[in-house]
Amino acid sequence: MIVRFFDIIISIILIIVLIPLLVIVSLIIILETKGPVVHWSKRIGKDEKIFFMPKFRSMIINTPDLPTHLMGNPLKYVTRSGHYIRKFSIDELPQLYSIFKGDLTFIGPRPALYNQSDLMELRKLYGIEKMKPGLTGYAQIMGRDSLSIEQKVFFEKEYLEKKNFFLNLKIIIFTFYKIVSISNIKH
């Protein structure tokens, strides 16, 4: 209950504070490409419930609906502004709406795409699918895109077993560090 209250209040504050950035990014996407500003990605949430998660669109229309590591050459789908939007994780900002709505929390395992059955099968072995997915998480700070699915699940399991206020604080601090240092982002 306290975490949900925290999610609602902080997401509202961040949305208000970030309105200028959200408007600027939206205008850049509108001016650069045809199509919607926000891509609604079909994701797997807590207890394997499907939900639609918003992201600023950083890829061209009709990009295959696959995890980027399965695309072969994901860079050919990324728009010019999309490179920067992704590099600084700006594409993730619309997910504040998902936090406010209750589909996400700030810290938890990143939500899997609806077709990532390999990831979900591993998560089910350890009960990770019972956790609400997050905007950031332990696996994100431990390697992000450079981790294999097995490594991600290892860190998610470790978070599930050890989660506490200080670990969450560490994850928040290191998330900001990773964004600023632009580390472990492959595309």
**88-134 pLDDT, tens per residue?**
889 999 999 999 999 999 999 999 999 999 999 999 999 999 999 99
pTM exceeds 0.75, yes or no: yes
Please tell me the distance from the alpha carbon of residue 81 to that of residue 155, in angstroms, as a whole number: 31
Please tell me the distance from the alpha carbon of residue 40 to that of residue 53, in angstroms, as a whole number: 5
Give the chain's residues under pLDDT 70: 182-187
Encode 89-107: b = buried (16+ Cβ within 10 Å), e = exposed: bbbbbbbbebbbeebbbbb
Q: Which of 104, 86, 87 lies closest to 95 in space, CA to CA?
A: 104
Q: In Å, what is the CA distance from 52 to each residue of 49, 89, 99, 111, 176?
A: 10, 18, 12, 10, 25
